[in-house]
Each structure stands twice: as C-alpha cells, then as structure tokens.
Structure 1
Amino acid sequence: MPKTLTEIRSLARSHTRSAINVLVGVMRSKDATAAARVSAANAILDRGWGRAAQPVQNGDDGALELIHRIERVIVHPENVHPENSNSENL
C-alpha cells in the first residue's frame, strides 16, 4: 500500500540525525575527495542556515528594472512621485 506524502516526509525526517552524522563524517574524512567534503559541508550549511541568496541579473530587456518600478508603485506608493506614476513610466 503506497504511503502518503506526509508519511514519507515523516519517515525521512526521522532519519535526520543519522543523515547529518553521515554528512559530517564525509566532511571530516581524510579519505573522501575534496569534492565530496565540500558537497557535504555545503549540504550541512544549507540545512542549518538556508541556501545563500542567488543574485538576479538584469537582462538586456530591463525586466529587473521593471520589477523594481512595479514594486515601488504597488508596495511603496508613498515613495512614488506624481510625475512618475503614469503607466508610461512603468
């Protein structure tokens, strides 16, 4: 009988301590390759501190600037000057 997603997550989470111990063992192992040690260290950091934010690059189409303008109008309307609030400036 198939397990529900909740049951699978619960089962996986019950092995968290063992999994972290394995990652720490790989990270500390002098016999492990450098790539394996770095991978284990990154996995530990990701789980403990969250993944590092990924920078978003502005493409040639100016999409990121458009998003910033929309945010200023919708999220922070008090910071929008009346001459910049028409749709042509979005």
Structure 2
Amino acid sequence: MSEEASELASAPARLLATRTTTRARTLTEIRSLARSHTRTAIRVLVGIMRSDDATPAARVSAANAILDRGWGKVAQPVENGEDQPLELVHRVERVIVHPDDAGNADAEPEA
C-alpha cells in the first residue's frame, strides 16, 4: 500500500479520535463550569426551601435536591414485576477450544 493510501485509510480513525478527544474535553469543561456555580446553586435551593412564598412542591423539590447532592440518592431496588426484588446473577465463563476442534463444536471430547 502506498504511503498516500495508508494515510487516507487511517484518516477516519484519526478523525474519530479527534472527535472523541474534543467531546471528552468539552464535557470536562462543561462539568467544570457547572461545578464553579455550586455555591450559588446551593444558596438558591436553600432560599427556595426556606421561602414561605414558594409553593410546597418547589420547597420539597429544593430540599430533595440539596439532600441528593449532600448525601447521594437512595438506592432503588429493582423489581421483577411480581413485587419481589430482582435477584441478579453474574456468571463469567471461559471456554477453551482446541484449534483442531473449533469447526466441530458438538463433538464429544476424547478420553
């Protein structure tokens, strides 16, 4: 393959890597910008929570937001539709296949 053809073939990979890097950097910048307003946001939420003029729904929503940020959200149980918690089972299985038997998966192993 010529150098020019090789360069053209790797162009999509470089473009994808650039987009991924740019997207990650953009998300990091947005996250950083949002975090820079944390004190103000908490003060606003506390103001709403304490305000007698705010609706009860707004006060509860503000209180919940403050608790969620300070203590984390409560874990929600996953149910299976029968009002019982869903039991999660994790299984990792490694199957080693001899190259000579790869084409004959149903064959019984030889003793």
Q: What interval of TM-score do these two structures reach, taking the shorter chain for normalisation?
A: 0.5 to 0.7
Q: CA deviation at 1:42?
A: 0.2
Is 1:12 the counterpart of 2:34? The answer is yes
Q: Distance in 2 between matches of 1:63 and 1:9?
A: 35
Q: In 2, Cα distance between the equivalents of 1:63 and 1:41? A: 29
Question: When you count helix as a share of all residues, which structure comes out higher?
Answer: 1
Aligned length in residues: 67
* TM-score (norm: length of structure 1): 0.64
TM-score, structure 2 length as denominator? 0.52
Question: Does the alignment pair 1:24 with 2:49?
Answer: no
Q: Which has the higher contact order (CA 8 A, sep 6+)?
A: 1
> Stretches of 4+ moved more than 2 A in 1?
62-65
Which one has a bigger Cα radius of gyration? 2
* Unmatched segments (≥5 aa) in structure 1: 75-90
Distance 1:58 1:22, change over 3 A: same
5+ residue gaps, structure 2:
1-24, 93-111
SS in 2 for 1:25: helix
1:64 aligned onto 2:86? yes
What per-residue deviation string (whole Å, max 9, x for no partner) do you get for residues 36-71 of structure 1? 0000000000000000111222235x9924x2xx35
